[in-house]
Amino acid sequence: MSTPPSLEERLRTALDARARLISARDLSPARPPTGRAWGTRRIRRVVSAVAVTAAAAAAVAFLLLSRPPESDRPAPPARDPRTPAPATSVPVSTTGPPTRPSPTSSPSPPSWTADPSVAR
């Protein structure tokens, strides 16, 4: 009684037979595609690149043009709501020489104020 060939021997013979079917000509590089298909691929690539560029330009233009102009000004400094706002109106007289208002003492801010612009 003969023993059947082992799995490894069968795989080796199958791969050897398959390798004998391939010649040196089969191993040469394939020619690039020609004709209409190659032109269509190039056109699709160019059109998609142009579309992406146009979309990016539109997004940048939208972001730059949609900002309101007052967003460039800095926000005014915050004030403590418990301290009264200083009086800024000065009476103006239309007759006589200009006079300067007399200095008045303003209420001092609380000692816990962390605003560096407030003079102590």
What tens digit of pLDDT does each residue of 75-116 get?
A: 777 877 777 766 666 666 566 565 666 666 555 555 555 555
32 DSSP 8-state letter: P
Residue 53 tokens, joined: 């560029």
Phi-psi region of 35 (alpha: psi -120 to 50; beta: other; left: phi over 0): left
How confident is the model at residue 65, as a pLDDT? 85
From the list 64, 73, 79, 86, the residue with the least C-alpha distance to 114 is 79
Q: What DSSP line would sit under 43-106, residue for residue?
A: HHHHHHHHHHHHHHHHHHHHHHHSS-GGGGSPPPPP--TTSPPPP------SSSS--PPPP-PP
pTM of the model: 0.31
**More confident position, 23 or 52:** 52
CA dist 27 and 19 (Å) reads: 12
Instruction: Give the pLDDT band of residue 64 (cuts 50, 70, 90).
Output: confident
Confidence class of residue 46 from pLDDT cuts 50, 70 and 90? very high
How many angstroms separate the Cα of 65 from the Cα of each of 3, 53, 54, 61?
85, 18, 16, 6
